Amino acid sequence: MNLNKRIEALCHIGEYLKEDSSAYQEIRQRAFFENKWFTPEYIYRSGKMIADNMLEQDMLRVFANQYGAGEASTGKTIGLVMAGNIPYVGLHDLLCIFLYGHRQRIKPSSKDTILIKNLVKMVSTTFPGFEEMVVIDEMLKGCDGYIATGNDNSARYFEYYFSKYPHLIRKNRTSVAVLDGTESQEDLEGLADDIQLYFGLGCRNVTQLLVPEAYDFVPLLKALRKYDHYRDHEKYRNNFDYQLTIAIMNNRFYMSNDSIVLLENESPFSPISQLHYQYYSDRETATDGLDSNKIQCIVGKGFIPFGEAQHPGLGDFPDGIDTMEFLSSIDK
């Protein structure tokens, strides 16, 4: 497929993800039955965000030209091991590989065996040749390079298994927010989304707050009440009840609004339904102690605007590693 056809095929995916057809509704329900974290609402929301921010013709063409994507297929094959923490989390890798002109063999996450397979099947019926460039495969031996996303434990396995080949391995990442106490209600409403969208399971979800001493948490706890309905989600409620019980049993000081537990903790990683916070004395140096290898993004004034953490664009690469540059290096 030439570049124009590849861009056309990606735009076709975007159009599909923005529609709310009965066939797509059925796919979302099937994915939800398989993985209860993948609610139909969040599948649609994630897909539409990607469609709006990444799968428009003009932005794809500019992006492709920026990296010198070839007119024809390069003949190289990339093995892609996808994550499954939130819906369509691996779609950015798929589109980068396809747009550049490499073939790819994809191993979907066991947590998501439906969504990506459905997209591949859907596009293949309209664009002959797509199924030759994008293949679902459980075994990824013999590829020219590899991209794999997982937790820190699986990353060590990937590093060993793919050590003889060019590889891009992603590990655990999370996001933090810097507050100064002057945030508006609109800011806090946006921050609530940054924290709780997709049940807080994404690497771009805020899991720790950096706040000034004597910070008033009450307005934020009120803003977070927009997600009180999570109490009706069995898996989330079980996590919340567990984290609250542990805090009480350990005699920890905590704050809660009946749907999330706030604890002072220096770790930027927090469990589902829990949000960590840490005090700073100087806002200018509040982020100095952060490990850049663990932080995906920072939200706050002077950083990513409140409410925008879950709206990445084509150039917002996971782990901050340029996927297209990696694909370019394999082509040489």
Distance between start and end Cα atoms, the chain: 20
Per-residue burial over 67-106, b = 16 or more CB atoms within 10 Å of its CB, e = otherwise:
bebbeebbebbbbbbbbbbbbbbbbbbbbbbbbbbbbbbb
CB within 8 A of 63, min separation 6: which ones?
99, 314, 315, 324
What's the burial of 11, exposed, middle or buried (CB within 10 Å: 0-12/13-18/19+)? middle
CB within 8 A of 60, min separation 6: which ones?
7, 10, 11, 54, 99, 314
Find, among 193, 158, 176, 125, the residue nearest to 298 by Cα.
176
Domains of the chain, CATH where assigned: 3-172 (3.40.605.10), 174-299 (3.40.309.10)
pTM for the whole structure: 0.94
Phi, psi of 86 (to 5 degrees): -135, 160
For residue 181, what are its two tokens?
């106490």
Q: Which amino acid is located at 290 in the chain?
A: L
Find, among 114, 89, 116, the residue nearest to 104 by Cα.
116
For residue 185, what are its two tokens?
């209600």
Per-residue pLDDT in tens (0 to 9) along the chain, 332 residues: 899 999 999 999 999 999 989 999 999 999 999 999 999 999 999 999 999 999 999 999 999 999 999 887 888 999 999 999 999 999 999 999 999 999 999 999 999 989 999 999 999 999 989 999 999 998 899 999 999 998 888 888 898 889 999 999 999 999 999 999 999 999 999 999 999 999 999 999 999 999 999 999 999 999 999 999 999 999 999 999 999 999 999 999 999 998 999 999 999 999 999 999 999 999 999 999 999 999 999 999 999 999 999 999 999 998 889 999 999 999 76
DSSP 280-321: ES-GGGTTTT--TTTEEEEESTTSBPTT-TT---TT--GGG-
What is the rounded distance in angstroms from the CA atom of residue 16 to the CA atom of residue 126?
12
What is the rounded distance in angstroms from the CA atom of residue 36 to the CA atom of residue 15?
25
Element (H, E) at 261: strand 261-264
Place of tokens 């709780």: 196
